[in-house]
Structure 1
Amino acid sequence: MSQTSEQPHGLGRVVGAGFMGTTIEYYDFFIYGTAAALVFPQIFFPALGTAAGTAASFATFGVAFLARPVGGLLFGHMGDRIGRKATLVTTMMIMGVATVLIGLLPSGDSIGVLAPILLIVLRFCQGLAVGGEWSSAALFVVEHAPEGKRGWYSLAQTLGTTFGLLLATLTFLITGLAMSDASFVSWGWRLPFVLSAVLVAVGMWVRLGVADTPVFKEAMARAADAKAAKAPIRELFTHQRREVFLAAGSVLMWLSFFYMGAVYLTNYGTGVLGLPRDTMLTIQFVAIGGCIIGQVVGARVSDKVGRRKVLLIGNGLAVPWAFVLFPLVDTGTAWIVGAALTVTLFVVGLSNGATTVFLPETFRTSYRSTGTGVSFNIGSVVAGAIPPVIAAPLLASYGSIGLSVMLGLLAVAAFVAVIAMRETSKDSLYDAPAVVPPAVRPNVPA
């Protein structure tokens, strides 16, 4: 069976489902980050004061990253046992319900300590959902794509993530411009959360209308692969334990730069530099364009020169840039801050564009969903949850150079991890029959 057997109109719907669904999922995920930077300290932690309230707010943001490995394992297992499509529908439903409930949640002044407790529970549910979403959506598109163009087609999922952030930023920007600061803090911030119900309904309709991947269907048709799929996590750590941790390490740079740039710097710009909220949101909106360009370049070039080369270039550029970023941002000049953030997100996009196809190619079909989900979400905890939380104490103790050192070390770690991995762009995603010894399988991830 060939991956090119997918009919063009069917592949178009797959691409649309991957892009639209991921956009909606990450819109829901990122509006939390924007709200955490702008209003959650006052809404849910009013008794803690500004500094402690901000730290607590970003801590709840980080709760989702603790949930992501659990979601990656849970929905990875589901994807390997039941199918990629079923996982995508389930994660979207969980994300949608949790997001709307956050928008309806009473403030800390109304229900006291119960407000932050419920917020943490709902954020944990968001983390579970997005933990399964990234890997499942990546697999769904990559396993449908023609050989030689998997990087290009994986852009559907990659760009969906970025457009989710773009939509979240635009929604908050419009909401903030349309009302006074008092109204925005009082009730306006809730609108992006509640309105996500409409987007989720559209996304569910699109995802329910596509078939599962031909690669997964063929794997399930084989008795040996079906047997292996009954315990994907055991198979994964039996055969590709090393790849799990290397793959987790390979994403440390772009995830840390992304969340520091897209979430933490929004609070840094308004709280430390004194830039107006709408100015920082506008800067972020423009800078996301740099990320989109980087993603397109990274995905396209990875089909031509390989995934590892693109990741090594991205991680290599990030090391010196970590020490340039904050001196530029600390000027407090809006256009310089915007330029610095745009370059940061371009470097993020370059590596992100290659990662979306690189991680699924690294693991065998029978546990590919589990392997991709677990490895990506381990990296997400280290690079997405920890940096924004420890940024405030690092800044207080060492100034912005402390933030630069942290980002530089993560970039070095990612560079080393990619060096230790192998190129996958020429591998087939179809597992060879089980009777062929793994050591002599041609074009199969080992």
Structure 2
Amino acid sequence: MSETAVPSGTIAAEPSRSVSRVAAASLIGTTIEYYDFAVYGTAAALVLGPAFFPTGTPAAQTLAAFLTFAGAFLARPVGVVLFGTLGDRLGRKPALVLSLLLMGAATVGVGLLPTYASAGLLAPVLLVMLRLLQGVSMGGEWGGAVLLAAEHAPPRRRAMYASIPQAGPPLGFLLSSAAILPTLAIAGRDGFAAGAWRIPFLLSAVLIVIGIWVRSRVEESPVFATTPRQATSRFPLGILLKEHPGRLVLGIGAAIGGSSVYYLTTVYSLQYGPAVLGVPQNTVLVAASIAATAGALATVPIARLADRVGRRPVMLAGLIGCVLWVLPMFGSLRTGNGLLITGAFAIGLLLFTLSFAPIAAFLPELFPARLRYTGASTTFILANTLGGGFAPVVATWLNTQWASPLVLGVYAGTLCLVSLVCVLVLPETREQEFSS
């Protein structure tokens, strides 16, 4: 099945204002999606265990809440198949609008759910169902967002534009903190647990309306628009597995380590630090928020560097740094010192960003245009699921076996070593022609 090449000037000639608008639309969407995900992760660490899974010990309640968190990641591959097929056959833009609508409906739905005390077993069942819908939505969001930005971008600035949606996860986490911290301060811990936890979920409705409005105003990807319809497949994932199994597996491995570092820092530590080590809740939340800010601010400059020197050197530097730093980073939790924890987390998420920012261009560049939405989404989402979605669950179990935060560093460091090997095996993609 052949593809006709797009003239090299087609993408480069895209007006800079249009490219900037597309990048902003991609960023807004991923920020909103990760806001929704981060609100759940934080609420799971704080209150959702007792509210929806009241039987058992506090540790069992927390584990149940984190298992529900992981359940959404299990649903992400369904989203990859659904939205990857839509994105590779019908276009990046309609797939992205639908994913945002689905995420918004699921998140607002969580904010409206009855708790176990008023609805019994129906409450956790409904919570799991809505989390699965969130997961399906996230399965289509990342690939479409980075492709919409990257396929509009000039070739020499592809990593920079593709990285802009990559700032969405830390920005989404910051937005969730901006909603949760004041709510906690005003309502208090008891008031938050009694029902104020719903407020950040319901606020998602406002963000979704803004996101849909912005995304509806952008143009379709020029690469997709000029790809012959006969070049598309009815089931892109099947073609991907047949033609590119090696790159698929290595791409998953390349992103798995960074995912573990990010979710252990911004989700698991929020529960582990206060509950197990006695670190004040606000200390850990503020430390993670400052670290996420540092990562967000560094995302575009790091990606610009990847445009100059290549994707692999920048990613390798970040992964090596993570392997060396994760032990002292998570070990800082034992000190209980807010400044030390904040500094350690900030350095850790900056190193994470070195591996994370270029991957938005690196993974799509591994696959041809007709399979790119599915290929990029599959590699990233499966890495995020295996490395990030199960990180809080695995970490909770590990800390029942070894009562030390250092075990978190061993776990994350091992996955970062896997990523390091995979990036070494994969080729440099900076010169890859994006229209093929």
* Counterpart contact for 2:163–2:358, Cα < 8 Å: no
1:153 corresponds in structure 2 to 161
Q: For the residues of structure 2 that align with 1:280 and 1:189, how far apart are their CA atoms?
A: 18
Q: For the residues of structure 2 that align with 1:340 and 1:12, how far apart are their CA atoms?
A: 33
Deviations for 1:197-236, whole angstroms, at most 9, x for unmatched residues?
01101110111111110000111xx25424xx33312221
Change (3 A) 1:398 1:181: closer
The percent of aligned pairs where both chains have the same amino acid is: 39
1:203 corresponds in structure 2 to 211
Q: 2:336 aligns with which of 285, 308, 332?
A: 332
Q: Larger deviation: 150-159 or 290-299?
A: 290-299
Aligned AA for 1:225? A
Deviations for 1:70-118, whole angstroms, at most 9, x for unmatched residues?
2112111110011000110000000000000000101111111111111
Note if 1:317 corresponds to 2:317.
no
Q: 1:179 aligns with which of 175, 187, 191?
A: 187
Q: Larger deviation: 324-333 or 406-415?
A: 324-333
Q: Secondary structure at the match of 2:278?
A: coil
Which 4+ residue blocks in structure 1 deviate beyond 6 angstroms?
Answer: none
* Counterpart contact for 1:293–1:349, Cα < 8 Å: no
Q: For the residues of structure 2 that align with 1:118 and 1:251, how far apart are their CA atoms?
A: 31
1:10 corresponds in structure 2 to 18
1:26-425 mapped onto 2 (5 Å cutoff)? 26-219=34-227, 222=228, 224-226=230-232, 229-400=233-404, 401-425=406-430
Q: For the residues of structure 2 that align with 1:158 and 1:309, how far apart are their CA atoms?
A: 18
RMSD of aligned Cα (Å): 1.3
Change (3 A) 1:223 1:115: closer
Deviations for 1:148-173, whole angstroms, at most 9, x for unmatched residues?
00111123211122211110111111
Please report the TM-score for the alignment, with normalisation by the length of structure 2.
0.95
Q: For the residues of structure 2 that align with 1:233 and 1:68, how far apart are their CA atoms?
A: 14
Q: Secondary structure at the match of 2:415?
A: helix
Change (3 A) 1:120 1:189: same
* Counterpart contact for 2:151–2:222, Cα < 8 Å: yes
Q: Secondary structure at the match of 2:231?
A: helix
* Counterpart contact for 2:92–2:221, Cα < 8 Å: yes
* Counterpart contact for 1:71–1:129, Cα < 8 Å: yes
Question: Which ranges of structure 2 fall in alignment gaps of 5 or more residues?
Answer: 1-6
Q: Larger deviation: 387-396 or 415-424?
A: 387-396
Q: Larger deviation: 400-409 or 338-347?
A: 400-409
Deviations for 1:378-427, whole angstroms, at most 9, x for unmatched residues?
11121012221021221121233332221111011000010110111111
Q: For the residues of structure 1 that align with 2:177 and 2:186, how far apart are their CA atoms?
A: 14
* Counterpart contact for 1:96–1:196, Cα < 8 Å: yes
* Counterpart contact for 2:171–2:293, Cα < 8 Å: no
Aligned AA for 1:52? A
Q: Larger deviation: 70-79 or 288-297?
A: 288-297
Aligned AA for 1:417? C
Q: Larger deviation: 136-145 or 343-352?
A: 343-352
Aligned AA for 1:8? S
